[in-house]
Amino acid sequence: MQTIRLESGEWQFDESKRLGPKGGFGEVFLGHGSYGEVAVKRLLMSAGAAAHREMKIGETLASEHFQHVVPVLDYGRDANGDSYYLVMPVCDRSLQDLINEHGIVPWSEAKPIIIDIISGLQEVGNIVHRDLKPGNVLSLDGRWQIADFGIAKFVEDSTSLETLRQSLTPSYAAPEQWAGERPTGGTDVYALGCIIYSLLRGSPPFGGDIDDVREGHLHASPPSIEGIDSRLGGLLSVMLRKAQTTRPSLDRCKAQITATDVALPAAGPRASLAAAGQAVAQAAATDEAVRLAAKAAANEWKAIGDEGAKDFARLLENLSNAIISDAPIAQKGTRSVILGPAELKGDVPTRVERRTHPQRGRLPEGLWEVAAFSRVELRCTLVNRSYHDPSIYAFAVTLAFAKTPENDEFRWREVSFYKQFSSSMQAEPTAIMPNNDAFYVVFSNVTGSHAIAHGPYTVDAEDEGSFIERWTGLFAKAALGKLRPPQQLPLSRQFYD
């Protein structure tokens, strides 16, 4: 037996007598104290991790008497140890036990359970549960009551959001929790909708592995439940909306659940109207899921481009610093370096709209997927030029932050091009920007006017050193006035020497 001392007294519990499975936030043991047999929940969090924070939520719940919330008999950090505990009455069973036993629960049994849960959420006012699930709905004194109020909030206040996300129950976590956003009462409404799914179909709305569950909650429409009243189906659709501010209030949920006498579809003209309402609600939920999925994809794409732009700025800065280090007399400007007749400059990166095939919704095979691009150009005034040479020669390349069919990672890639059917090489290699279709034609199976003259090379991360070496060598040739239009294309190794 282990003895702990909390805010209101001393308790003992036996670690060999576990009550229910271990959860994301803690584990429960059979214990004893001044109330007789009790359930002692030990949180999976040390005082050090929680910065010795007080359990204010335990104090709030212990001072109230609720009808549909499991009482908190004692709470706090063990005076003799490093763990936090909650002490509660021993309950008969959990709602998860009922679902495991029956699978699909008849509406005559499910309806009072749902109303009890809603009543519990209403009793605590503005306290958001954050981890509502069948395992936290317990049978006590002939009613279904909610346990573990405030534990998720305590963890969130005490540690990181990542710790909280790891502790939540995936099948019942709302989209905003997956996205790391602040939960509200709508978060509990969403979880309640998932619980209703579990009661009426034997499982929550989204299943599969953790990635499938996450994708479902964030972007997918919940499946319809066959054979239930259309008004109930419509209510479930709005309870599981992705945007928490668009979900119904608890009062509205309770009124609709109370008014639904049977889960089976009704008959007659009003049934047709209810079915129409359900269809509209489901269509709205689908449209919202599609809209939010598109928004999430756009945000992700923007983040990819932003990261690429940051990396490019650092890459160009490191190249400039390498040149200044070797030739301190060089003049450094904004995204440029000048030494004698040589000038190296890079453009501000440009973000690219995601390109998709108009019918298939994805890029054709073989094409680069570019999130951002820039242009780097090395210009030099030619010294001792021949009659046919230009007075100024510019060597330009495209830098694209992209993933390719050969490498499914977004990296900065350097490439340049030349005209296949031109007799002059004085303006080549040249850059073609990825906002020009000619860029993608080069990488397709279609013959176009241009071909690859140089590269492609990865130039960031572990390949940054070779990028800097290549360009400092070219810059040195340009500074000495020796950089000339190439004699052959694609470029040979001798061009860089």
**Enzyme catalytic residues:** 131
Angle at which helix 185-201 crosses helix 107-123, to 10 degrees, equals: 170
412, 308 contact by CB (below 8 A): yes
Angle at which helix 464-479 crosses helix 269-326, to 10 degrees, equals: 50
Residue type, 114: I
127, 56 contact by CB (below 8 A): no
**Residue 350, SS3?**
strand
237, 222 contact by CB (below 8 A): yes
Location of structure tokens 């453009």:
347
CA–CA distance, 270 with 262 (Å, rounded to integer): 15
CA–CA distance, 418 with 448 (Å, rounded to integer): 11
User: Cβ of 35: how many Cβ atoms within 10 Å?
Assistant: 16
b/e map of 399-416 (b: 16 or more CB within 10 Å)?
Answer: bbbbbbeeeeebbbbbbb
Please classify residue 184 by burial: count the beta carbons closer than 10 Å to its beta carbon, then call 0-12 exposed, 13-18 middle and 19+ buried. Answer: middle
Residues forming a β-bridge with 143: 140
**Residue 9, SS3?**
coil
- DSSP string computed for 393-428: EEEEEEEEEEE-SS--S-EEEEEEEEETT-S--TT-
- Rg of the chain in Å (alpha carbons): 33
Residue type, 297: A
Residue type, 269: P
Residues forming a β-bridge with 350: 373
Torsion-angle region of residue 75: left (phi > 0), alpha (psi -120 to 50) or beta?
beta
b/e map of 417-426 (b: 16 or more CB within 10 Å)?
Answer: bbbeeeeebe
Q: Which helix (H) or strand (E) holds 297?
A: helix 269-326
